[in-house]
Amino acid sequence: MDCVETRMSDPIIVAEDVHKWFGNFHVLRGVHLTVSRGEVLVICGPSGSGKSTFIRIINRLEEHQRGRIAVDGIELTNDLRNIEAIRREIGMVFQQFNLFPHLTVFENITLAPIWARKVKRSDAEKQALELLERVGIPEQAQKYPGQLSGGQQQRVAIARALAMQPKIMLFDEPTSALDPEMIKEVLDVMGELAASGMTMIVITHEMGFAREVADRIAFFDEGRIVEAAAPVDFFTAPEHERTKLFLSQILHH
Amino acid sequence: MPAPQTVIPLWRDVRVLRILAQVIFVITLVLVANWFYTNLSRNLGRTGIHVGFDFLHLTAGFRISEGISFESTDSYGYAFWVGIVNTLRVIGIGILLATILGLVAGVARLSTNWLVCKMASVYIETIRNTPLVVQLFFWYTATFLKLPNVHDSLELPGPIYLSQRGLALPVPHLTEHFSSWSYFLVAGLVLACAVYVGRRRYLQRVQRPGFPSAWALITFLGTSALGWFLLPRSPIAWEVPVLSRFNFEGGLQFTPEFAALLTGLVVYTGAFIAEIVRGGILAVSKGQKEAARALALNNLQVLRLVIFPQALRVIIPPITSQYLNLAKNSSLAVAVGYPDLFSVANTIINQSGRAIEMILFIMGSYLIMSLITSAFSNWYNRRIRLVEH
Amino acid sequence: MQNREILPPPMLRIGPLRWLKDNLFSTRYNALLTFLAVVFLYLTLHPTLEWVLWHARWDAIPANLKLFLVGIYPMKDVWRVWVCVYWILLLLGLSGGLWGRLAREAALIVGSGAILLLLLPFSWMERLWILGAVLGLFGGLSIGWLLRERKSWRKDVIILWALSPLIVVLFLGGLPNNPLLSPVGTNQWGGLMLTFMLAIVGIASSFPLGVLLALGRQSSLPVIRWISILYIEVVRGVPLITVIFMTSIMLPLFLPAQVRVDQALRAMVAFALFTSAYIAENVRGGLQAVPRGQIEAAKAVGLSGMLTTFFIVLPQALRVVIPANVGQFISLFKDTALVFVASLLDLFGMAKSILANPDWLGRDREVLLFIAFVYWLFTYFLSRMSRRLEKALGVGER
Ligand SMILES: Nc1ncnc2c1ncn2[C@@H]1O[C@H](COP(=O)(O)OP(=O)(O)O)[C@@H](O)[C@H]1O
Ligand SMILES: [Mg+2]
């Protein structure tokens, strides 16, 4: 508990009253969230509740229309420099991997460091090898994404995001598109990443992962965070009816 | 916590940057256009040409070999109009014939008859892979101009006469009995409508399928046929071309230029339409056929009720663009000397030196045709989508 | 149809009679069709064959072969054309060796074509040149074959291909003050060579323009989008011949008086302006086929819009549209014949001018059939290849 307290004093992501509309559809209806440095936050909630939209807003894949977001002290505004700086701080992993199919695994990982961070090619390649080592597939470097299994692709995607040396990692349902036997290999990589002190926001319905790895679990519904609590409290004593209902549905599987 | 930074420098604001990019783009375009314009006016000034449309009223001073009547004393503007009418004439007839040829060749290429299938393939692969203008030139100089003299013209059943002077065909014309016959036509139309409505109501009431339109058609044809036989002489007669001293007179006559252009366009476009028809039928018939068979429809019904309507949906958009191609390709008339809008405009340019204005006119005319076609195409696609959902 | 890779089912031995019955007389209706077809064939083929065998006078073709092939290109410089042909064949051979079946087959077909040419009654000098071409092709093929394991060569060969139009233009056009490559103005280019140069320069210069237009049409900035759409739709709405006509008359008016642009260059400008609109539409199809997730992933790893377009979107989009663009090249190749409105002497223009020569009066059929055959040969070959390529790349039918 002590530990959580000290972390709370060092927020890295601050979102205050974030709103978002798609046309007339009010997707996010005032999201308040603070994530501390090194914290692992799991977001869960029914489909269509705006979870993806929210984390996509954090690195400006979508634009929010009201409220305020700051990442590591940088305001997320229309300032191009801030947007670029924030994107540099944040890595993102998608449900559908979104690897670049025309590039090899190696090129997927080195492309952004070389061109966007202007790292020397040899350094970028050395780092790529280390990262592939870290996610457990150094032997696949010269293959194309299409030649890998889903689990391997997702691990490459994690390595690709890490290659930009982000301070924060966002995961949008990283295991939902995977066959069951591959889920664990990806979750293991994510667990190690969490253990290394990375700040992470993970949208997932893997409640086992949430229980073991998360520092906090936030429950999203109808565009709001209904409640957020440490895993123990979240699973044993959820406050809201909707949370209870959701948990009973998801844990019955 | 840092205070929210409220003022963003303009050059870093994404919204401003978006507008800025567009402004720069427009400025660049304007600069380039301005450069062209300055050059143009300087060049025109040097050569003493001025731009304007007043010349359209001037006397043309040349003749146009075919089309609606035109004298060399008529104006340039009217000459261009004659060209437009000639273009529309070749497009209209061309589209009709190319569609028929394309349908026949497309179905023939799918035929189980080896010889028919191979003939269609050879036709399609030869025609599609050679330049249209070479074909047109071939039709003109190597076919129509090589035909025998008028006095030894080839006579085909009809009678249709083929000679160096072109094509002469019989044409239907109305006799004095036509006005009496028209009463039968009107009566037939009214009756047909009544039958259609009545039959449809009946079918709906008993909830059975049927063809009210076929009933209506039969009614109409029956009434008109009745009229035809009741009248003392037939209301429509054929006017047959007759050879006089120098050329054929009467009937419908096509110059070799028109005939060559029409043949070339039809044969060329027909080959493209054939491929579209074939593709459409193949695309539909694969799975659909089995499904329809499973529903116990017989062969003819399958073709009429399942394959054809669906193939039509696939076929019509690309065929429309082939029609448009035919329209645009009709400008190759200039290669065979048929006075379409492009070649008339060409003559006007040679005569009056008004290149800029005439080129604007030419492009404008084709653009209007394209706009009409794509408007139709969009309307059709939207309708299809409505039907699908 | 013949090129399926699937093994045929075990063959039943079918006698010719059985084949006739199955394919020509299976039903009464089919028998009637066959009968009609035979009558039609007799009526058309009989006079045609009679003409080809007895009446046709083909002498105009060998007598004017040089004009048909290179026009009035100076005789002493014709070796430069040959060198360009060698260069292209060498590249084709290299590609055939380096890439898979399709490129190899293309190289082999072209090689056999060249060998067939050797059998025709050419002079010894000409045969030597042709022999050189064959050797160049097969030399390239063997080098490519030996190097096929080294993937990096592929990139080099692609770059060489991309540079080829420039190299060929420089080589044929020559350089000022160069004794070896003395300048030969485009007004001296002609025949099949000019046809090819128009098509190649046309496609090469319309490609970048077309890609930019396609990107413009997909842009999120409205003004850029509208202007791109306007350009594309206007150009697609008018016939090519009017564009050629326009540039041939008006281009000089739009340029400063001291800039001289000869007719061939004006025609190339017309092809570039015209074809770019069509390329843009093809490329747009490819751009739409790139999933949104790709762009989002690129943004998320911090690539800027420009880098995303260059490294992520275009490589994926362009791959999909290769066959469509080959198709565009084919139709451009056919359309080069339209430069007759600019009085250029390409293959077709040359045929027209030879036919206008009193010496060759009345050879219209022979000459036109000959050039039609030349056009057909290249177009048919290219379109077969493009259809195969489409299958090989797994691009779905449109
Ligand atoms: N680009 C978009 N345009 C319009 N509606 C969208 C868009 N993206 C998402 N939505 C809608 O917003 C809602 C929330 O979506 P999302 O954030 O993906 O939910 P979750 O990830 O929680 O399942 C959904 O109803 C979805 O249909
Ligand atoms: Mg989601």
The more confidently predicted of residues B98 and B110 is B98
Q: Show which subunits contact C, needing at least 3 CB pairs below 8 angstroms.
A: A, B
Q: Among A85, A69, A79, A84, which residue's Cα sits nearest to residue A35?
A: A69
B244 and B125 inside one domain: yes
Q: Pick the residue of B13, B15, B18 with the most A CBs within 10 A to test the interface with A by mutation.
A: B13
Residue B2 pLDDT exceeds 70: no
Terminal-residue alpha carbon distance, chain C:
18
Which residue range forms the structural domain that includes residue B19?
10-42
Q: How far is the CA of A87 from the centre of ligand 2 (A)?
A: 20
Please list every residue in chain A whose beta carbon sits closer than 8 Å to the beta carbon of residue C299: 59-61, 87
Question: pLDDT value at position A156?
Answer: 96
- What are the beta bridge partners of residue A220? A225
Name every chain C residue with its beta carbon within 8 A of the beta carbon of B335. Answer: 340
pLDDT exceeds 80 at position B50? no
Helix, coil or strand: residue C250: helix
From CA C154, how far away is CA B285, in angstroms rounded?
Answer: 42
Q: How far is C160 from chain B (nearest CA, A)?
A: 28
CB contact under 8 A, C301 and A90: no
* Residues 229-288 (C) with a CB less than 8 A from some CB of B: 233-234, 236-242, 245-246, 249-250, 252-257
Pairing type for strands A199-203 and A168-172 reads: parallel
A62 Cα nearest atom in ligand 1: 1
Question: Measured between alpha carbons, how far is A33 from B153 in angstroms, rounded to an integer?
Answer: 93
Which segments of chain B does DSSP mark as H helices, in order?
14-47, 76-109, 114-128, 132-137, 178-206, 212-230, 256-294, 299-301, 308-329, 333-336, 341-352, 355-388
pLDDT tens readout for residues B298-317: 555 666 677 777 778 888 88
B50 within a domain of the structure (yes/no): no
In degrees, rounded to 5, the angle at the alpha carbon of residue C150 between the alpha carbons of residues C144 and C156 is: 70
Minimum-distance ligand 1 atom for the alpha carbon of A45 = 22
Check if A87 contacts C (Cβ < 8 Å).
yes
Tokens found for residue B328: 């645009």
Q: pLDDT tens across C220-270, in order?
A: 899 999 999 999 999 999 999 999 999 998 888 888 888 888 888 899 999
* CA–CA separation, B119 and C390 (whole Å): 26
Q: For the purposes of burial, counting CB atoms within 10 Å of the CB of B94, is it exposed (0-12), middle (13-18) or buried (19 or more)?
A: buried
Look at B60 and B360; give whichever has higher pLDDT: B360
Residue, of B95 and C183, whose pLDDT is higher: B95
Same domain, B150 and B271: yes
pTM of the complete model: 0.86
| Regions in chain A scoring below 50 on pLDDT | 1-7
**Residue A27 CA: which ligand is closest?**
1
Give the SS3 label for residue C58.
Answer: coil
How many Cβ atoms sit within 10 Å of the Cβ of residue C387? 14
CA distance C364 to B371: 38
Report the C-alpha gap between B359 and B371 in whole angstroms. Answer: 18
Query: Cα distance from B22 to chain A (closest Cα, Å)?
Result: 17
Q: Find the mean pLDDT for residues B6-13.
A: 77
List of chain C residues whose C-beta atoms are within 8 Å of the C-beta of residue B283: 397
What is the DSSP track for chain A? Answer: -HHHHHHHTSEEEEEEEEEEEETTEEEEEEEEEEEETT-EEEEE--TTSSHHHHHHHHTTSS--SEEEEEETTEE-SSBHHHHHHHHHHEEEE-TT----TTS-HHHHHHHHHHHTS---HHHHHHHHHHHHHHTT-GGGTTS-GGGS-HHHHHHHHHHHHHTT--SEEEEESTTTTS-HHHHHHHHHHHHHHHHTT-EEEEE---HHHHHHH-SEEEEEETTEEEEEE-HHHHHH---SHHHHHHHHHHHT-
Tokens of A73: 């002290």
Instruction: Specify whether B207 is located in the same domain as B290.
Output: no
Quick check: A102 and C304 CB within 8 A? no
Question: Are B163 and B301 found together in one domain?
Answer: yes
Scanning every residue of chain C, which has its alpha carbon at the shortest distance from the alpha carbon of A85? Answer: C302
Q: What is the pLDDT of residues B264-309, one digit of tens each?
A: 999 999 999 999 988 888 877 666 666 655 555 555 566 667 777 7
What pLDDT digit, counting tens, does each position of A78-90 carry? Answer: 888 899 899 999 9
Q: Which of B85, B88, B104 is nearest to B267 (CA)?
A: B104
Instruction: Say which residue the tokens 């060049």 belong to.
Output: B43
CB contact under 8 A, A79 and B14: yes
Whether B325 and B360 map to the same domain: the answer is yes
Which numbered atom of ligand 1 lies nearest the CA of A220?
22
Rounded Cα distance, C78 and C172, in Å: 9
CB distance C300–A101 less than 8 Å? no
Are residues B200 and B65 part of one domain? no
Ligand nearest to the CA of A57: 1
Q: Indicate which residue's Cα is closest to atom 27 of ligand 1.
A: A48
Q: Round to whole Å and give the CA distance between B268 and A47.
A: 56
- C228 three-class SS: helix
> In this structure, which residue's CA is closest to atom 24 in ligand 1?
A48
**Chains touching chain A, criterion 3+ CB pairs below 8 Å:** B, C
Instruction: Report the C-alpha gap between C23 and C15 in whole angstroms.
Output: 12
Answer whether residue B261 is part of any domain: yes
Ligand 1 contacts CB of residue A176 (under 6 A): no
Does B68 share its domain with B137? yes
β-partners of residue A68 are A16
Task: Please report whether residue B389 resides in a domain.
Answer: no
Q: Is the peptide bond before B339 cis (omega within 30 degrees of 0)?
A: no
DSSP C162-217: HHHHHHHHHHHH--TT-STT----GGG--HHHHHHHHHHHHHHHHHHHHHHHHHHH
Would you say the ipTM is above 0.85? yes
User: Contact, C144 vs C158, CB < 8 A?
Assistant: no
Phi, psi for A12 (deg, rounded to 5) = -110, -30
Q: Is the torsion defined by CA of B232, B236, B238, B239 positive or negative?
A: positive
Percent of chain B whose pLDDT exceeds 90: 38
Ligand 1 within 6 A of A115 CB?
no
B254 shares a domain with B380: yes
Lowest mean pLDDT among B13-27, B216-230, C2-16, C26-40: C2-16
Ligand 1 and A22: CB distance under 6 A = yes
Count of other CB atoms within 10 angstroms of residue B271: 23
Q: Is the CB of A27 under 6 A from ligand 1?
A: yes
**Contact at 8 Å (CB) between A151 and A186?**
yes
Residue pair B331/C241 in contact (Cβ under 8 Å)? The answer is yes
The CATH 1.10.3720.10 domain(s) of chain C lie at: 189-398
CA–CA separation, C75 and B162 (whole Å):
46
Bridge partners of B154, per DSSP, are: B162
Positive or negative torsion for Cα B329, B334, B336, B337: positive
- The reply to whether B163 and B182 lie within a common domain is no
Chain C environment of B363 (Cβ under 8 Å): 234, 238, 242, 246
Residue B4 resides in a domain: no
Assigned token pair, A150: 């889903």
Are β-strands B154-156 and B160-163 bridged in parallel, bridged antiparallel, or unpaired?
Answer: antiparallel
Q: Which atom of ligand 1 is nearest to the CA of A53?
A: 17
Task: Assess if residue B297 is contained within a domain.
Answer: yes
Segments in chain C below pLDDT 70:
1-14, 394-398
User: Which residue do the tokens 């603070």 mark?
Assistant: A34
Q: Determine whether the interchain pair A100/C294 forms a contact, defined as Cβ–Cβ distance below 8 Å.
A: yes
Cross-chain residue pair A11–B1, CB shorter than 8 Å? yes
Structure tokens at A58: 């954090």
Start-end of H helices in C74-123 = 78-98, 101-119
Is the Cβ–Cβ distance between A158 and A135 less than 8 Å?
yes
Phi, psi of C129 (to 5 degrees): -60, -45
Among the three residues B206, B229, B252, which one is the final residue of a domain in this structure? B229
Domain assignment of residue B208, yes or no: yes
B213 & B256 share domain: no
Expressed in angstroms and rounded, the spacing between residue A20 Cα and the centre of ligand 1 is 10
Residue C22 confidence (pLDDT):
74
H/E run at residue C252: helix C240-254
Structure tokens at A144: 């194309």
Quick one: pLDDT at residue A63?
92
Cβ–Cβ below 8 Å for B13 and A83: no
Same domain, residue pair B214 and B246: no
Q: Could you tell me if residue B47 is inside a domain?
A: no
- How far is Cα C267 from Cα C269, in angstroms, rounded to an integer? 5
Note whether B249 and B146 are same-domain residues.
Answer: yes
Q: Which CATH class is domain C189-398?
A: mainly alpha
pLDDT of residue A1: 37
Q: How many domains is chain B built from?
A: 3
Give me the phi and psi of B175, to 5 degrees please.
-95, 180
The CATH number of whichever domain residue B269 belongs to comes to 1.10.3720.10
Rounded-to-integer distance, Cα C69 and Cα C194, Å: 9
